[in-house]
Amino acid sequence: MENTVLIVEDNEINRMLLMTILEDTYHVLEACNGREALDILRDPKNSVSAVITDLIMPEMDGYQFLEVYSSTPQFSNIPIIVSTSQSDSESEVKCLEYGAWDFIKKPYNAQIIQFRVKNVIERSELYALRQLRYQEQFDTLTGIYIQNMFVRQTKKMLKENPDKDFMILHFDISQFQVYNSVFGRREGDKLLCHIADLLRKVGSKQEYMTYCRVEADAFCICMPAVDKELIQKLMDWFQKDLQAYQRDYNILPNLGVYYVEDKSASIPGMIDHAKLASKECKGNYIQNYYIYTEKMGKSIQEAQSIVSDMERAMKEEQFVLYLQPKYGLAEYKLRGAEVLIRWLTPEGMVSPGKFIPVFEKNGLIMKLDYYVWEQSCKLIRSWLDRGIEPFPVSVNISRVSMYNPRIVEEIYELTVKYNVPPRLFQLELTESAYTDNPGTIKKAMQQLQEYGFTILMDDFGSGYSSLNVLKDISVDVLKLDMKFMANTGSENQKRSESIVANVIRLAKDLSLPVIAEGVEEKEQVEFLKSVGCEYVQGYYFAKPMPVAEYEKLAFTEENM
């Protein structure tokens, strides 16, 4: 394809002369001054390959034109030749400063002009090619390798050193977007360049080391394998450096380590493994590096398929409510139930212990919790409609749902929608959630109590701040953690029993009823009764069961 040359010249005769010299080889466009020239250049369909400009013109002269030209990145690789009438070194210097590529003199010499135009176009093409090559190898922001080159270099290094052990490190900055929004993108870029400089510095001292910027704030290194202690030292050093770099912000790096096993395996695969390990650091302020284990890959795979299954499962009503009865120890009678979700897939049942932690990580739990609450309200409504005076039903609130600022309203509105008296709809919140954000939770729980809901503190005794929590927060019932029941017959039994007895005494002082969970044996029941525990829940009495089964069990003469 023909290249296009733009002639910028107010003198018509000069324009015609230049036109005759160039029109055999190029497609030629004309402009009478800088302003017209800029219009032509900005129009993308013109795709100009070179510009010849006069200096003295009306409206916008050559200097002004050059000034705009050189400050427009879009034109940075379009060569510009200045045509001058006399050799005036002062104006030439000025033109060069503004980015002129070459000069031609009046009167015109056809051959010289043809050569100069040809040369600058070739130069610009070469430059563009080189730039392209650069971008294929280097990250334009930091100037270090991009992943492709890292992969190539690393492959070579691994191949040439079959006797050496290597590791791949993948790291990024925890909450880099926050850093960006606090200090601005520019500062964010500067931080990335600082990290790249560090890599260069370390890399220049290492015989065997490759590194690159993978994407955004993520970097990769391949170097000889070292043990945990050295990795920790490395991280400490890195963190110190970052702290010195930015004192107003705690920059936290997350590192994942993959020890290379099979040197001929795919390098991008190794990077993925290291990246997976680094993800374990998220939300963990104590440990800032993790070493890849096969289990990590598995649980992520499992988690991903669980997430993609969730939406469909919801529609297909694969989430089913089970009810586990609670018994009063005074008369050994059924006195209520806890709703426990079951996921019935065509392949079988998935236990909540598997999918709830996953849903809590990705936030889907809020949807599921709401679904369970709504289904539970519907269930209670259906009992009331059948003229039954049901026992209260408790539902679980995930700690994650407590971050929903509308949680109190949502729960209240549900019970209004289904016309369910709050006293029949009890709420279980696990003890450790109270320590997540005590202020907010305390307030929400108080509001719910004011609406008439009963609050049960679930898994009481599982954390180590239980007693502290009790001082600050008003709950209505304590659910004693299952772990106290697990020790029957073991050496720890005496200790557990003494704790249980004390907790129950303490609860009595605070006028709090206690439900013991996980009761599986007769001896446990007798012991609990002897120390004044009022309620129990556990396999000894009943396992979680489908709704129909619960109805049969609960709504009989002997229980009512």
Q: Which residues bind ligand C2E (CB under 6 A)?
A: 324, 339-341, 351-353, 356, 369, 372, 396, 398, 458-459, 517-520, 537-539, 544
Q: Where are the alpha helices (DSSP H) in 138-227?
A: 147-160, 176-183, 185-205
Take residue 378 and report the two structure tokens written for it.
């519907």
Size of the site for Ca ion (CB under 5 A): 4
CB of 213 or CB of 479, closer to Ca ion: 479
Residue 398 interacts with which of ligand C2E, Ca ion, none, CB < 5 to 8 Å by class: ligand C2E
Q: How far is the CB of 138 from Ca ion (least distance, A)?
A: 55
Take residue 220 and report the two structure tokens written for it.
């990769």
Alpha-carbon distances of 511 from 191, 325, 450, rounded to whole Å: 57, 23, 18
Take residue 511 and report the two structure tokens written for it.
């006028």
CB of 173 or CB of 457, closer to ligand C2E: 457
Residue 503 interacts with which of ligand C2E, Ca ion, none, CB < 5 to 8 Å by class: none
Alpha-carbon distances of 392 from 384, 414, 431, 554, rounded to whole Å: 12, 16, 21, 11
Query: In the beta sheet, which residues pair with residue 456?
Result: 428, 477
Contact 337, 391 (CB under 8 A): yes
Task: Specify the 3-state DSSP secondary structure of 472.
Answer: helix
Q: How far is the CB of 341 from ligand C2E (least distance, A)?
A: 4
- Contacts of residue 272, defined as CB under 8 A and 6 or more positions apart, other chains included, come to none
Residue 431 interacts with which of ligand C2E, Ca ion, none, CB < 5 to 8 Å by class: none
CB of 276 or CB of 368, closer to Ca ion: 368
CB of 38 or CB of 358, closer to ligand C2E: 358
Q: How far is the CB of 421 from Ca ion (least distance, A)?
A: 21
Residue 356 interacts with which of Ca ion, ligand C2E, none, CB < 5 to 8 Å by class: ligand C2E
Residue 369 interacts with which of ligand C2E, Ca ion, none, CB < 5 to 8 Å by class: ligand C2E
CB of 209 or CB of 433, closer to ligand C2E: 433
Q: How far is the CB of 229 from Ca ion (least distance, A)?
A: 39
Take residue 506 and report the two structure tokens written for it.
């303490």
Is 54 a residue that touches Ca ion (CB under 5 A)?
no
Contact 157, 222 (CB under 8 A): yes
Q: How far is the CB of 263 from ligand C2E (least distance, A)?
A: 43
Contact 196, 213 (CB under 8 A): yes
Q: How far is the CB of 369 from Ca ion (least distance, A)?
A: 12
Is 459 a residue that touches Ca ion (CB under 5 A)?
yes
Q: How far is the CB of 360 from ligand C2E (least distance, A)?
A: 8
Pairing of strands 514-517, 477-480: parallel
CB of 107 or CB of 489, closer to ligand C2E: 489
Residue 18 interacts with which of Ca ion, ligand C2E, none, CB < 5 to 8 Å by class: none
Residue 353 interacts with which of Ca ion, ligand C2E, none, CB < 5 to 8 Å by class: ligand C2E
Among 54, 428, 431, 551, which residue sits at the site for Ca ion (rule: CB under 5 A)? 428
CB of 94 or CB of 342, closer to ligand C2E: 342
Contact 252, 288 (CB under 8 A): yes
Is 376 a residue that touches Ca ion (CB under 5 A)?
no
Among 54, 458, 534, 551, which residue sits at the site for Ca ion (rule: CB under 5 A)? 458
459: left (phi over 0), alpha (psi -120 to 50) or beta: left
Q: How far is the CB of 538 from ligand C2E (least distance, A)?
A: 3
Q: How far is residue 28's CA from residue 48's CA, in Å, rounded to a whole number?
A: 9
Alpha-carbon distances of 145 from 190, 209, 238, 254, rounded to whole Å: 17, 12, 20, 20
Q: How far is residue 119's CA from residue 179's CA, in Å, rounded to a whole number?
A: 47
CB of 428 or CB of 551, closer to Ca ion: 428
Alpha-carbon distances of 502 from 72, 140, 480, 514, rounded to whole Å: 78, 66, 12, 12
| Matching residue, tokens 């563009």 | 128
Is 396 a residue that touches Ca ion (CB under 5 A)?
yes
Residue 278 interacts with which of ligand C2E, Ca ion, none, CB < 5 to 8 Å by class: none
CB of 234 or CB of 545, closer to Ca ion: 545
CB of 198 or CB of 414, closer to ligand C2E: 414
Q: What is 57-76 written as a DSSP string? A: -SSS-HHHHHHHHHT-GGGT
Q: How far is the CB of 383 from ligand C2E (least distance, A)?
A: 19
**Within a 10 A sphere around the Cβ of 350, how many other Cβ atoms?**
17
Q: What is 244-293 written as a DSSP string? A: HH-TTS---EEEEEEE---TTS-HHHHHHHHHHHHHTTTT-SS--EEE--
Query: In the beta sheet, which residues pair with residue 413?
Result: none
Take residue 65 and report the two structure tokens written for it.
């034109």
- Contacts of residue 551, defined as CB under 8 A and 6 or more positions apart, other chains included, come to 383
CB of 139 or CB of 458, closer to ligand C2E: 458
Residue 404 interacts with which of ligand C2E, Ca ion, none, CB < 5 to 8 Å by class: none
CB of 80 or CB of 525, closer to ligand C2E: 525
Is 431 a residue that touches Ca ion (CB under 5 A)?
no
Q: How far is the CB of 459 from Ca ion (least distance, A)?
A: 4
Q: How far is the CB of 458 from ligand C2E (least distance, A)?
A: 5
Planar angle of CA 120, 122, 128, nearest 5 degrees = 105
**Residues in the site for Ca ion, rule: CB under 5 A?**
396, 428, 458-459
